[in-house]
Each structure stands twice: as structure tokens, then as C-alpha cells.
Structure 1
Amino acid sequence: MNSRNWVRLFLSTLLVGAVITSIAGFTLKWGEYQSLFIQGEIVEILSVLFWFIGLGFIFSIISQMGFFAYLTVHRFGMGIFRSVSLWNNIQLFLILFVLFDLIYFRYQLFAIKDESVLSYVLLAIAILGFGLVVAYFKMRQTKKSAFVPALFFMVVVTTVEWVPALRVNEADWLYLMLIPLLACNAYQLLILPKITGKGNGKRLD
């Protein structure tokens, strides 16, 4: 990837992060901000909007760091194991391990007395489901062997990027960070071959 393509990817991903974070922020906290819109408090609305845009930039940068880190890890994995099937099997194992962690360990650490594990399961399933959809489109965009690496990136790398919010474990922050991360990661994964023309060896396949 040349510098022009990198700048294009960087700026467009920043925009995705800012827009999605702003939408998610106002949606998640609508009960808190609804009165501002009703009363027409333009200055207050803009100040909140700029706050969400700033957060979106941060989440976008975290996403981009994770993306380029995984491109490097993926190439190392392919080089070390010298077998697409073996490397894919290792990634599938790590996906299952991370999903188990998201359910079991979060439940053990944060569940209150008599709280059901269902909400923890549903969140993990939602991340997996979104990852499967993105991986499917990535496979259609490139080839079948790209499915598992794309799924790994969407599940495992997103979860690693999400750790700051996971440690806080406040519902608003969990979703406010997760939604932009998923959006930015999906965007980068699917747009990179289009930006570079043919991927220049950087496709997750």
C-alpha cells in the first residue's frame, strides 16, 4: 500500500468511526439528550456531538492499529505454519476460546447475584453473528480461504481492541465502544482491496 492509499484508508475510517460513534452515542443515551433536542439547545447538542466525534476518532485509531497489527500477524502465521488449513484451524480455536472467555469469565467477574448468563451469551453470539456476515462478504469479495481470517479479525481482534470497555463493564461504554469498533473493522476489511486495487498481497486470504 502506498502513502496515498494509506491516507485515504486512514481518513475514511476516521469518518466511519466519528459517524457511527455519534449515532450510537445519541441512540444509547437518548433519554439523557432528548430534552436538548426538544428545547433546541443547539450549543449543547454540538458540544455533545463534538465529544462523540472525538471518541469516534479514538475508537477508529484503535481499530486501525488492530487491523494493521493483524495483517502482520497473519503473514507471520502463514509463514510459520506454512499451511493455510493449519493456520485456519488455529484461528478457529482462538475464536472459540475468546467467545468462551467473553461468556464465562465476564460472567464470573461481573455477574451480580442471581443474574442470568443469557445476556453474556447473547452479546457473544451477536459479535459472532456480525463477524460471520462480514466474513461471508469478504469471502465473496476474494476467495473461500479468506473466510476464517476475516472471522478471526472480526471476533478476536475486535475483542482485544474492546478490552478497555470490558474492564470498566458499564453497559453504555460497552456498546458505545463495541459498535464503532465493529463498524470500523468491517469497513477496513472490506474496503482495503478496493482502495489498493488488488490488495497488493494484503488480503486476508
Structure 2
Amino acid sequence: MNTRKVVQLFFTTLIIGSLSGTIVGLLLDLDLYTSGSVANLIVGIIWIAGISAAFSLIAQMGFFAYLTLHRFGLGIFKSVKLWNWVQVILIAFVVFDLIYLRYIAFAQEGETIFHYMVMPLALLVYGAIIAYLKAKDTNKGAFIPALFFMVVITSIEWVPALTVNDPKWLWVYFAPLIAANTWQILILHRLQQQ
């Protein structure tokens, strides 16, 4: 992979993350941005696009950190099968933590744990779909690493919004992360083949 392809990956990921976050951010606060003048709408779009661009940069850092981590994992465990089992255990641990730790930290009286299961389980299902597509495009061995990246790395990148627990910011932060991570994991092998 040459420098031109890395730059292409950087800018396309930045654009995809920014657009997805801008769309979700506008939809979540449409009244805020459309009430008032056109200048209010323009400044609002620029602001939410800038925030989304920052989140997509975090996704890119997470992607390159994962590529490094994956190589370390293969080197430390000396076996793809063992490294895959470690990743599966970490996926289960992260999904459990996303449910249970958020529940004990933020649950109010009358709320059940099922309310806190929706987003982590949706992320797991979405991650499995993306991992399936990645494995179908490359090889079966890509499923677990892609699932690990989509669930674990996205969750780590999502931590600042998770600690605030504001539904609006959970989605505004999540949209560029998931869009950028999906793009990166599905396009990388195509860029390497060119």
C-alpha cells in the first residue's frame, strides 16, 4: 500500500464520517438548526460537521491502532486460532461491560437492564454483518478480527460519549464512528489489491 492510497483512505474516511455525523446530528436537533435564520442553519451544519470530522479522526486512529494490535496479538500468541479465541473473549467481555456497567452507573429507579442491552446488542449484530461481508470478500479467517474491530475498537472510541450518557451525544458520536469504521474495514483489502 503506497502513500497515495493511505491519503485516499484518510480523506474518504473523513468525508464519510463527517457526512454521517452531520446528517444524524441535524436530524436529532432539526428544530434547533432550522429555527431562526439561514445563518443559524449554516453555522449549525459547519459546527456539527466539524465535530463529526473530529470523531471520524478518532475512528481512523483506532483503525491504525487495531492494525498494530492485531500484529502484536499474532506475534504474542503465535497462533491465529489462539489469537482469535482471545478476541472472541474480549468481544464478549466488552459487550457484557457495555450492558452491565452502564446499567449500574446510569440506571434510574424503574429502569431494567433490558434498556441498556439494545445498543450493545445492536452493535454486535451490525458488527457480525460487517464481519461477514469482510470474510466473504476476503477469506473466512477475517471474520473474527473484523468483528473484534467493529465491536471492541468502536466501543473504546465511543467511551467519551458513553460516560456522559446523553442519548443525543451517544448517537452524534456513534454515527461517524460506525460509518468510518465500516468504511475502513471494508475498503482496506480493496485498496491493497489495486
Same fold by TM-score, threshold 0.5 exceeded? yes
**Any stretches of 5+ residues in structure 1 without a counterpart?**
199-205
1:82 alignment partner in structure 2: 78
Q: Return the offset for 1:103.
A: 0.5
2:24–2:175: 8 Å Cα contact kept in structure 1? yes
Q: Which residue of 2 aligns with 1:202?
A: none
| Letter paired with 2:59 | S
Identity of aligned residues (%): 48
Whole-Å Cα distance in 2 between the matches of residues 181 and 43 of structure 1?
28
1:23-102 alignment, distance < 5 Å: 23-36=23-36, 41-102=37-98
Q: Provide the alpha-carbon RMSD of the alignment.
A: 1.2
Shift of 1:80: 1.3
Structure 1's 137 and 146: CA in aligned 2 closer, same or farther, altered over 3 A? same
Instruction: Count how many residue pairs are aligned between Structure 1 and Structure 2.
Output: 194
Partner of 2:4: 4
Asked if 1:172 corresponds to 2:173, the answer is no
Q: Among residues 176, 181, 185, which one is paired with 1:185 in the alignment?
A: 181
TM-score by length of 2: 0.96
1:203 aligns with none
- Which runs of 5 or more residues in structure 2 are unaligned? none
Partners of 1:21 and 1:182 lie apart in 2 by 10
**More deviation, 148-157/111-120:** 111-120
Q: Secondary structure at the match of 1:113?
A: coil
**Map of 1:120 onto structure 2:** 116
Partner of 1:162, secondary structure, is helix
Match of residue 147, structure 2, among 140, 147, 151: 151
CA distance in 2, matches of 1:89, 1:196: 27
AA aligned to 2:3 is: S
- Provide TM-score, normalisation by structure 1: 0.91
Q: Give the counterpart of 2:127 among 109, 122, 131.
A: 131
